[in-house]
Amino acid sequence: MFGAFIALSSFLTKQNDPLKESMERGSNLYAAHCQSCHMAEGAGIPSVFPPLAKSDYLEKNVEASILIVLNGGSEPMTVNGVEYNGMMTALDLTDQEVADVMNYIKNSWGNKAPMVKPQDVRNLR
Ligand code: HEC
């Protein structure tokens, strides 16, 4: 009886935390698709791959960041005062996957931001 109560309450807690669930999926996507360039802790490689941890670009340019994950990017950009002019290839992710990976990077390594929903991604396609 007590066990069932614990199981039910942890089920409810999970259901009630959509950001946490999205971040868990995003964490796996990050390891598979992003970590090779942006590194496990989001630190990037100075002047080659920009950081995501405490990135002023990611914090301020919400839509442009989603667009980069959707379409890739090769425009010069400045992140935390350092210039990057590399090339990020487009990744073939669904709206849900883009939202999940955004929620992971925007709420990890000291970052904090409101939740991105699949509909926000769809609106930018
Ligand atoms: C092949 C290496 C590579 C991979 C893989 C990659 N990126 Fe990038 N990313 C870059 C480069 C290079 C830039 C800078 C592009 C430019 O100069 O226009 C960038 C820029 C960004 C930016 C905006 C700048 C910043 O640091 O805030 C975000 C956000 C981002 N990437 C997120 C992701 C996410 C999320 C994934 C995985 C879904 C990913 N990247 C996969 C190389 C990569």
- Quick: pLDDT tens for 83-108: 999 999 999 999 999 999 999 999 99
CA of 123 to the centre of ligand 1 (A): 21
Portion of the chain with pLDDT greater than 70, in percent: 88
Give me the domains of the chain, ranges plus CATH numbers: 2-124 (1.10.760.10)
53 Cβ below 6 A of ligand 1: no
Long-range pairs for 36-45 at CB < 8 Å and ≥24 separation? 37/88, 38/105, 41/109, 42/105, 42/108, 42/109, 42/111, 44/79
Candidate from 15-19, 22-26, 61-65, 66-70 with smallest mean pLDDT: 15-19
pLDDT tens-place string over residues 68-88? 999 999 999 999 999 999 999
pLDDT at site 8: 66
Nearest alpha carbon, ligand 1 atom 34: 34
